[in-house]
Amino acid sequence: MAANDRTIDVSIILPVHNASKWLDECLNSVLEQNFEGTFELSAFNDASTDGSLDMLKRWEEKLEAADIPVTLGGHQGQQPKGVGFAKNQAVAQSRGRYLCFLDADDVMDTHRIELQYAASVDRQNAIIGCQFHREPANSTERYTHWCNTITEEQLYTQAYTSHGPTVIMPTWFCSRKLFDRIGGFDEKGKGVPEDLIFFLSHLHNGGNVHRVNQCLLMYRYHPEAATHSVHKDTIWTIRIEAFEKHVLSQWPLFTIWNAGKQGRRFYRSLTCKSQKKVVAFCDVDVKKIDKGAYIYEESQEIPKPQVEIVHFRDAHPPFVICMKQDLTGGEFESNLASLNLKEGKDYYFFS
C-alpha cells in the first residue's frame, strides 16, 4: 500500500517557530511513541529563522525511516503568522481521524498517544487532556496543581477562571470532526488566546472535556513561550463576555463574593444589564462591611449605582466568587464549605 493511501489513526499537530533549541527532544518523543495504531507527524514551520526548518527536514528522514509518515509545510515570510494559523495549517495538511496537539518546546511521554486515543474512542465530542509536569520543576506550582487535580465536574465549572482552559492546550487530543465543527483556531496572531477562544466555543456548543489522570507531557516554562504574548486584559475581556452570555444570563440576581479590588473590577466590567442583577457584595473584612455599600463613582448613571456590602453569612446565592483559592490558609475554603453550596449551580469561580 502506498504511503499516501494508508489510513492514519492519529495526526500529531506541531506548529514550529524558532524552536531549534527544543526540537530534538520534542521530536525524539514522537519517535518513541508506544502506539499500535498508525500515526503521522504534521509539522508547519511558521517563518523560522533559527535553523528549525533544517532540523525538521533531518527528522523527517529519521521518522519516515521508522515508518512514521511526515508532512512538512510552512512559509518563509518576513513575519510569522501566529500559532493559530500554524496549527490550522498543520491540521489542514494532515490525514488522521484524531488530532494530537504538541508544542515544539514540549516532550511527550511514550504512552501519550496510546492512552489519549483510548480515552477518545468513546468520547467523540470531547477535548481530551492529561496531567503534566513542568520544566523547570516547580515553576507555576499553583497553576500546575490546579490543572492536575480539579475534578471532572470542575473541568466545566472552572472554565471561566483566570487560568484559562481547564485542560491546557499542549495536552489536547480530539477527533477531527470536533475540530472541524468549531472551525479551527482564531488566526489574528500574536496576543490572541486562540486556545481559550476555541475551548469556550467548544463548551458553549455542547462539547465535553475529559482528562487522563496520568502525567503524559513535560510542559516547558520559559520566557519565549507564545502564552506570554497574551495580555491579561485580553483574556479578562473574553472571560467576561463568555461568562455573561452563558452563566449570568441564566440568573435573575446574584451576589459578588469579594468586596475588594477583584470583586469591584468584576462588577465594573459587566454590562449595565448584568450590573443591575448584583444584589450585594459579600466579604469577611469588617472595614469593608462597615462602609455599608460600594458606590460606582465612574458610572455615567445619575444617581451613581450603590451595591450593599454584607457578611458572607448574610448573603444569598448564587455567588460569583472573585477570590483566588489556596491563598488564605484554608479560611476562605472553610467559609464556602460551611454554606453547603453546589459549584456550577449556587456559585462559579471568576478569579
Q: 58 pairs with which residues across the strands? A: none
pLDDT above 90 coverage of the chain, percent:
85
Q: How far apart are CA 121 and CA 98, in angstroms?
A: 9
pLDDT tens figures, 98-144: 999 999 999 999 999 999 999 999 999 999 999 999 999 888 899 99
Q: Of the given ranges (12-21, 59-68, 87-96, 155-164), which has the lowest mean pLDDT?
A: 155-164
The whole-number pLDDT of residue 1 equals 39
The whole-number pLDDT of residue 314 equals 97
pTM: 0.93
Task: Report the side by side order of strands in the sheet with 10-16.
Answer: 70-75, 39-46, 10-16, 98-101, 173-175, 126-135, 208-220, 107-108
The whole-number pLDDT of residue 322 equals 96
Is residue 92 very low, low, confident or very high in pLDDT (cuts 50, 70, 90)? very high
Q: Of the given ranges (84-88, 164-168, 197-201, 257-261), which has the lowest mean pLDDT?
A: 164-168
The cell 516547558 sits on which residue? 220
Helix (H, G, I), strand (E, B) or coil at 250: helix
* CA proximity to 38, closest of 92, 81, 83, 98: 98
- Residue 282 C-alpha cell reads as 459579600
The CA distances from residue 282 to 151, 258, 316, in Å, are 26, 6, 9
Count the Cβ atoms, other than its own, within 10 Å of residue 161. Answer: 19
The cell 515570510 sits on which residue? 77
* CA proximity to 42, closest of 67, 69, 64, 18: 69
Q: How far apart are CA 56 and CA 50, in angstroms?
A: 12
pLDDT tens figures, 152-201: 999 999 999 987 799 999 999 999 999 999 999 999 878 889 999 999 99
The whole-number pLDDT of residue 2 equals 45
* CA proximity to 322, closest of 330, 331, 332: 332
The whole-number pLDDT of residue 190 equals 80
The whole-number pLDDT of residue 4 equals 62
- Residue 165 C-alpha cell reads as 482552559
* Residue 260 pLDDT greater than 90, yes or no: yes
Mean confidence (pLDDT) of the chain: 94
The whole-number pLDDT of residue 231 equals 81
∠ CA 91-107-109, nearest 5°, is 100
The whole-number pLDDT of residue 162 equals 83
